[in-house]
A = this chain, B = another copy of it.
Amino acid sequence: MRVGILGSGQLGRMLALAGHPLGHSFSFYDSSASSATVGLGECTVASFEDIEALKRFAGQCDVITYEFENVPCAAAETLSSIRPVFPPARALEVSQDRLVEKEFLQGLGIGTPRFRSASSESELREACEALGLPCIVKTRRFGYDGKGQARIDDLADVARVWKLLNGAPLLVEGFVPFSRELSVIATREQGGQVCLYPLSQNEHIEGILHRSELPAPDVTPKLKKAAYQLISSVLEELQYVGTLAIELFEVRGEVLANEMAPRVHNSGHATIDCVASSQFENHIRAVTGMPLGSTEPTARAVMFNIIGRIPALDQVRDLPNARVHLYGKEPRPGRKLGHITLLNPSKAEEDMVNGLTSER
C-alpha cells in the first residue's frame, strides 16, 4: 500500500524505514520539507490549508497517517473524505488542546495533575492561588519539547509569565512531587487488538528528552497494570488505530497522566532495537490493516537523544551493543538530530554516551 504521512521529520523517516520491509511505499506532505525523509518517498510541500493540494495528495495514497499532532483538524477532515485517516480525527482534537486533553482523561477516570484553565492575567493569578504554588503554566495549544511552558514560584511572576506566553489561552497545573517520569506506548489495530510496549523511564534536559530506559526499572506490577489500563481505556474510547503514547508521572507508587501524543513517540525509539516490532512498525501495521507484531523486549535498552550537534561518534560506533540512528538533518540548537540506543549497557558505556550527548 502507499501510505501518506503528514509531516516529514524524523518520525516520518522512521515510520518509512519500518514500513518499507512490510512492502509499503510512502509519500509525505508538509508545509516545509524536512531533509529527514529525503530519499524515502516524495514530499508534497504545501500548506495544510491548501484544500486542492490535500485532495491531490489523498488521491495518491491508500491510507493516511501523521507524525505530529498539530495537523489542522480541517485538513484531516478533507483527507478523510477521500481516504482512511488513522489515528481518528478525535485523537487529534483531544491532543491538540491541553485543556480538552486533561478533561478527556479525567472523563475516563484517569488521574492527572490538578489543573485550571486561564484566559486572562487575572484568571492566571486565580488559578495559581487555587492550585497553590509552584504551578506549571502551559499554552493550551502548540507546545512541545518544553516550548510554551513556564513555572510560577511566586505570585509576583504572574504578569511576567502572562506576557512571556503572549497572552495565549493557558492550562495551569498544580506542581506534582513526582519521583520520576514514565511513558506508556501501545498500538491498536483496526480489529481492536492492542499491543503494549514495556514502560520507559524518561529524563529531560531543558524540557527536551535526553534519556529513556526501556523497560523502566523497578516498575511494580500495580504500577504497570495502572499504566496499561489507562492507555487501553484511551485507545478504546477513541476507537484508536495506530501507536499512542502517554506521558506519566509516578507519584508515591501511583501514576498520573501528564499528556498524550497520538503518534509514535521519542521515548519509544529504543523499540527499534530491543523489540521485534517497533512502535514504528506496529503503527504501520495498524494503519495498513495488518496484525500487530511482538513487543517483547529482547534486551534492556537505554536511549540517548542527539540534540543540537552531532558529537564524535567513533567511540560509540566501536561499541558492539550501540546502535546509532541519525536523521539526516542539519545541526541547529535544540534540534533532534539522532539517537543512540545501547543494549544491555555497562555503567561505563552508559556514562560515556551520556557524557557525549549531554553537551548540546
Contacts and interface: CB of A to CB of B under 8 A. Distances in A.
A10 to B, nearest CB: 10
Interface in A137-191: none
- Copies of this chain, how many? 2
A20 B35 CA distance: 12
A326 B18 CA distance: 12
A290 B17 CA distance: 21
Q: Could you say which interface size class chain A belongs to? A: 35 or more
Nearest to A337: B23
Contact of A40 (B22, B40, B326): B40
A80 interface: no
A218 interface: no
Contact of A321 (B294, B299, B314, B317): B294
A276 B321 contact: yes
A336 to B, nearest CB: 13
Given A40-B40, A276-B321, A291-B314, A20 B13 contact: yes
A298 interface: yes
Interface in A320-351: 320-321, 323-328, 338, 343
Given A40-B40, A276-B343, 16 more contacts: A17-B17, A20-B40, A21-B323, A21-B325, A23-B326, A23-B327, A23-B328, A23-B338, A25-B38, A25-B328, A39-B41, A39-B42, A276-B323, A291-B317, A293-B317, A294-B321
Interface of A: 13, 16-17, 20-23, 25-26, 38-42, 273, 276, 285, 290-291, 293-294, 296, 298-299, 314, 317-318, 320-321, 323-328, 338, 343
